[in-house]
Structure 1
Amino acid sequence: MYLEHLSLTDFRSYAQVDLALGPGTTVLVGSNGLGKTNLVEAVGYLSTLSSHRVSSDAPLLRFGTERAMIRAKLVRGEQSVMLEVELNAGRANRARINRANPVRSRDILGICRTVLFAPEDLALVKGDPSNRRRFLDELLVTLMPRHAATRSDYERVLKQRNALLKSAKSQHYSRSGVNEGHLATLDVWDAHMAAAGAQLLAARLELLEKLMPKLATAYGQLTDGSKELQAIYRSTLEEPLPDDDESAPHAGGPAAGLGALYGLGIPELTERYIEAFAASRRREVERGLSLVGPHRDELELILGQAPARGYASHGETWSVALSLRLASYYVLLEDAAIEGNAPILILDDVFAELDVQRRSKLAAIVSSAEQVLVTAAVEADIPAELRGAQIRVIPGGVVPVAEPGTVVAGDSTPVDGMPAGAVVEEPLDEPGHGH
């Protein structure tokens, strides 16, 4: 798969920009702050419906605007597909596939597959467990888009159950105590959350069986092999947290993990959750939040004999973060059942952060991908293996380096009050379609 054309309207810093691309490597070069990352961020958004830089869509809309558009033409083998996503302020986003009627934005998941490397990836190693859970769930949805609903259902039930626990907490510390109505309702939500949690946990475990061998391989390719990288999924079903501090370590050493949970079906996992909720009810009511469930689980990264978080050097941390992304790429590549469905690799300002050895090893690994998009502030940061087509990013637009003086649609020159290259199109506002 490769991206042939990208068009942005009111996305981040761009009023309008159009970018022609092709297979192989394309390097986007420009000074910091001109919008290189904004371009690849839009491509990544098509894959995950989220940004690798911010947690909400609001910053993606150009300041002062109410909507932004991302349009892309993808080539998959002998076929091409047009994707359009409209990001809206204060209402549901919309999407279209091949200019058909608008659909829910999540209906496009799985069409554009990307793996994005960025400086923010250090948080996958150094950050709290939510970063690693998000990594797992985004890869899960990219690989199996149906699990977008699994994830959404669990988050909805969790929100409802937490609201009930918060209410029960206030009753617990009042004179009346927790009333029977709260307890009966909590039993109902326990059942809902157990079912939704079992679905999400089973999906994560299925993904991890594919990911873990690839992770060890990727780390070996990026380093001298003196240390082994492994990942251990720690579930609150087996290792409940001692308090409501998510950063607290789980019990057990490097050998602990999910041995007893792998292979269990969804009915068995559901029953385990119901039992765990019952055992944790007093603590959950006291704290007013759910302490057991996939939202509290951890993917612990072990480098050698020690946790990578807190023990890995800066260089090792980078190698672990890169290995997680490379392992994702290998999983998606293995899953590419049809020719031309390989994921697009995006390396956003990564090489400036790496030493010469890691630059060279990473470049050698990714150079054979069908399409690689690289951003850099300095051309010298790009390894020789990735010196492909080059596009210079300028204020408000882009210029192909191969054709100096030819400005691609999207420069900041106004024409009749509109930016050059602007595409005028009605918003995707047909009724009956939600986010």
Structure 2
Amino acid sequence: MLTELRLALFRSHRAVRLAFDGRPVAIWGPNGAGKTNILEAVSLLSPGRGLRGAAAEEIGRRPDGAGWKVAAVLDGHELETWAEGPGRLVRIDGKTASQAALAGIARVVWLVPAMDRLWIEAPEGRRRFLDRLALSFFPGHAETALAYERAMRERNRLLRDGVADAGWYGALEARMAEAGAALTAARAATVERLMAAQVEGAFPVAALSLDPGEGAADLAAALVDGRRRDMAAGRTLAGPHRADLRAVWAAKGMDAALCSTGEQKALLIALVLANARALAAETGAPPLVLLDEVAAHLDPGRRAALFDTLCGMGVQAFLTGTEEALFDSLGTRAQRMTVADEGGASVVRPA
């Protein structure tokens, strides 16, 4: 459970200290007041760039300076992450730690409006979505992806330079094959977990399938065989970096890309809830769930069903919206906070 969150020079927040009691947290206020910034701060308690995908140097409050800090108390651990320039630093219980170490303490899942086009955009967005879910189960997934990307970048440089000597490729392709197999295995295992954790109800069951990318079954051989083709293209054309996630509304047999905007949103919510259920079953505790502006896009019945589901799961969820009325069906089951812009800085008050 997240019991305390402190922000310093973080986006629109000059200094804030928030206390939580484990209930879902409903945060409302006008657009641009700083609601999403609170969710972003919580997301940075896990590895990676957080729910906005921002580089560390982009987060600091302007014009106060580039430095910023987020500190929290989560399950009795004191977590700190901050930046004073490129890259961010981490301390856990007063000791310097890696971002990957955060995954052993903070499991965080989220849904933001930018994901609304997930099913109709290019496969890259769905890969990022799936990899974020995989990271929640497999803390080493990000390091594996980074190792694969580094080796692929080096191989692509050789291809663009027209290097034909096979000796230059062998070690790089071996590293890509090893990391690629681990990536594909983690993605496939994540899909299996999501499928098993879905529940029939207010939100649809999604039939998921993973296209692992051309050559993924034997990537080492595919890379060797594809060198001439790849050299002509100037990049690697086979491998898990070309994987894709497909979803079908199971009850209707309809591909997610063909569903209405509201149905696509419902499928996304269903997968985030499945992710939370699977993590709770695996770790013994539900993750933190961040839902940015999700209530405004649901009809009252489905909105109430979402709140009932979150409370029934015992999830500590953080939800944002522009109006207090969006959270009426939560009643006393939630903490309530308002955010307003006052003098160019965000001010958070209990409601």
Asked whether 1:158 is paired with 2:152, we answer yes
Q: 1:19 Cα deviation (Å)? A: 1.0
* 1:372 counterpart (302, 314, 317): 317
- Identity across aligned pairs (percent)? 30
**Secondary structure of the corresponding residue to residue 49 of structure 2:** coil
Partner amino acid, structure 2, of 1:382: F
Q: What is aligned with 1:72?
A: 72
Q: What is the CA-CA distance between 1:348 and the residue it aligns to?
A: 1.6
Distance 2:228 2:173 in 1: 14
In the TM superposition, residue 383 of structure 1 has moved relative to its aligned partner by 4.3
Q: What is the SS of the residue equivalent to 2:104?
A: coil
Match of 2:126 in 1: 132
Whether the 8 Å CA contact 2:262–2:297 is kept in 1: the answer is no
For CA contacts below 8 A with separation 6 or more, give which structure has more relative contact order.
Answer: 1
Contact 2:134 2:187 in 1 (8 A): yes
Matched with 1:29 is 28
Q: What CA deviation, in whole Å up to 9, does each residue of 1:366-408 have, x standing for no partner? A: 123242222121011124135522112122221112xxxxxxx
- Secondary structure of 1:17 counterpart: strand
- Letter of the 2:311 counterpart: S
Match of 2:78 among 53, 59, 82: 82
Matched, 1:57 2:56: yes
Moved over 4 A (4+): none
2:265 is paired with a residue of what secondary structure? helix
SS of the residue corresponding to residue 125 of structure 1 reads: coil
Matched, 1:38 2:32: no
Contact 2:107–2:136 (8 Å) recurs in 1: yes
- For 1:185, the equivalent position in structure 2 comes to 168
CA distance in 2, matches of 1:203, 1:370: 25
Instruction: Letter of the 2:298 partner, please give it.
Output: L
1:10 aligns with 2:4: no
Q: Deviations over 1:1-25 (max 9, x none)?
A: x211101111111121111111112
1:107 deviation in Å?
A: 2.2
Instruction: For residue 105 of structure 2, give the secondary structure of its aligned residue in structure 1.
Output: coil
Give the structure 2 partner of residue 249 of structure 1. Answer: none
SS at match of 2:213: coil
Asked whether the equivalents of residues 125 and 321 of structure 1 are also in contact (C-alpha less than 8 Å), the reply is no
Give the AA of the match of 1:346: L
Q: Which amino acid aligns with 2:210?
A: Y
Q: Is 1:235–2:230 an aligned residue pair?
A: no
Contact residue 12 and residue 60 of structure 1 kept, 8 A = yes
Task: Indicate if the aligned counterparts of 1:349 and 1:374 stay in contact, CA closer than 8 A.
Answer: yes
Tell me, in whole angstroms, the C-alpha distance in 1 between the residues paired with 2:78 and 2:173: 42
1:326 counterpart (273, 286, 292): 273
Aligned length in residues: 342
Query: What TM-score results when the alignment is normalised by the length of structure 1?
Result: 0.74
The answer on whether the counterparts of 1:25 and 1:386 sit within 8 Å (CA) in structure 2 is no
Rounded Cα–Cα distance in structure 1 between residues aligned with 2:69 and 2:77: 17
- Quote the residue 1:279 is aligned against: 225
Structure-1 separation of matches of 2:82 and 2:28: 27
Alpha-carbon distance in structure 1 between the residues aligned to 2:197 and 2:38? 29
In the other structure, the counterpart of 1:336 is: 283
Root mean square deviation, CA, Å = 2.0
For the structure 1 residues 208 and 10, does the alpha-carbon distance in structure 2 shift closer, same or farther, using more than 3 Å as the test? same
Q: Secondary structure at the residue paired with 2:24?
A: strand
Q: Give the AA of the match of 2:274.
A: A
Paired residue for 1:307, among 240, 255, 258? Answer: 255
- Give the 5 Å matches for 1:210-249: 210-215=193-198, 217=199, 220-223=200-203, 229-237=206-214
Query: Counterparts of 2:268 and 2:120 in 1: how far apart (Å)?
Result: 9
Going from structure 1 to structure 2, the CA distance change for 1:10 and 1:324 (only over 3 Å counts) comes to same
**Residue 179 of structure 1: how far off its partner (Å):** 4.0
Aligned to 2:336: 390
Separation (CA, whole Å) in 2 of partners of 1:385 and 1:166: 57
Larger Rg: 1
| 1:7–1:18 contact (8 Å) kept in structure 2 | yes
Q: Which residue type is aligned with residue 321 of structure 2? A: A
Cα offsets for 1:266-321 (capped at 9, x unmatched): xxx5xx11121133222211111111111110011123444212x11111111111
Structure 2: segments with no counterpart, 5+ residues: none
What SS does structure 2 have at the residue aligned with 1:382?
A: helix
Contact 2:195 2:206 in 1 (8 A): no
3-state SS of paired residue (2:296): helix
